[in-house]
């Protein structure tokens, strides 16, 4: 593996939403006991609570090698057409709470514009870059770009276009990343978001979802994550 990043000294907490995603990640990282994989539930609140609880439980570890050094939000996601095709992988450059803000007469205002903090958490650039390069080197389609966290999954072309207008270059949409990254930030830990694309962001069409293909891609990407961090 060429694209290694050996800066992480300690355990890796991987947070998924549901068990099927957790099992895919576990298959990918099999044999490496640095990884602790939990299914914290769907949505940003569950992800934040589950991540914070796991970090708190692990934070008391005596040795640095037993403490968490990295948090990864992982799972399936919707891909923005033209940026992330169904079956491909997205590694977040930034993790963005896309609907954290207020509706105003002039349209949506993010918490950044409102002055109440930030809806954007930068992923660890070095590790995200190494992971994306490793996935590409393995011959898998991969994008490195902003991943949106929403509480309401997009279900129309208009809403998808509005998200892309607010966040130029948005690659994927899911429901947990900002929650997990917020919990990581409380302990000054680096965060990543790793997503396998199951559907296109836009008009609701469950028949078009390819969850099985996405879970296979998630397993393979998790294996590459393990190799990058070895």
- Is the CB of 98 or the CB of 189 nearer to ligand LNDFFVEH? 98
Stretch that binds ligand LNDFFVEH, among 4-12, 24-32, 138-146, 173-181 (CB under 6 A): 173-181
Which is closer to ligand LNDFFVEH, CB of 71 or CB of 229?
A: 71
Reported in sequence order, the residue ranges of 40-131 that DSSP labels E, i.e. its strands, are 68-79, 89-97, 101-104, 107-110, 120-122
Q: Which of 153, 187, 213, 216 binds ligand LNDFFVEH (CB under 6 A)?
A: 153
Contacts of 142 (CB under 8 A, 6+ apart): 88, 89, 90, 91, 132, 135, 136, 221
> What whole-number distance in Å separates Cα of residue 168 and Cα of residue 90?
15
Determine the interface stretch with ligand LNDFFVEH among 61-69, 126-134, 158-166, 171-179 (rule: CB under 6 A).
171-179
Residue 42 touching ligand LNDFFVEH (CB under 6 A): yes
Give residues with Cβ within 8 angstroms of 119, minimum separation 6: 96, 97, 98, 100, 101, 110, 111, 112, 178
- When CB distances to ligand LNDFFVEH are compared, the closest residue is 78
**Residues near ligand LNDFFVEH, by CB under 6 A:** 17, 42, 75-78, 150, 153-155, 173-176, 198-199, 201, 204, 206
């Amino acid at each position: 593996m060429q694209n290694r990043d050996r800066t992480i000294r300690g355990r890796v907490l991987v947070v998924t939403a549901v068990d099927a995603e957790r099992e895919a990640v576990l298959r990918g990282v099999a044999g490496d006991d640095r990884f602790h994989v939990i299914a914290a539930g769907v949505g940003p609140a569950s992800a934040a609570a589950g991540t914070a609880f796991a970090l708190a439980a692990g934070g008391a570890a005596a040795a640095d090698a037993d403490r968490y050094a990295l948090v990864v939000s992982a799972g399936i996601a919707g891909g923005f057409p033209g940026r992330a095709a169904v079956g491909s992988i997205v590694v977040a450059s930034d993790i963005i709470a896309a609907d954290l803000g207020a509706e105003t007469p002039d349209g949506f205002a993010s918490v950044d514009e409102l002055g109440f903090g930030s809806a954007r958490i930068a992923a660890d650039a070095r590790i995200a870059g190494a992971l994306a390069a490793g996935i590409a080197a393995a011959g898998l389609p991969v994008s490195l770009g902003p991943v949106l966290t929403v509480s309401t999954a997009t279900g129309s072309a208009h809403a998808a276009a509005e998200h892309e207008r607010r966040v130029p270059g948005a690659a994927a949409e899911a429901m947990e990343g900002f929650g997990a990254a917020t919990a990581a930030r409380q302990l000054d830990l680096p965060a990543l978001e790793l997503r396998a694309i199951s559907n296109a962001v836009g008009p609701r069409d469950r028949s078009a979802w390819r969850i099985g293909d996405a879970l296979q891609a998630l397993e393979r990407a998790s294996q590459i994550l393990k190799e990058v961090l070895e």
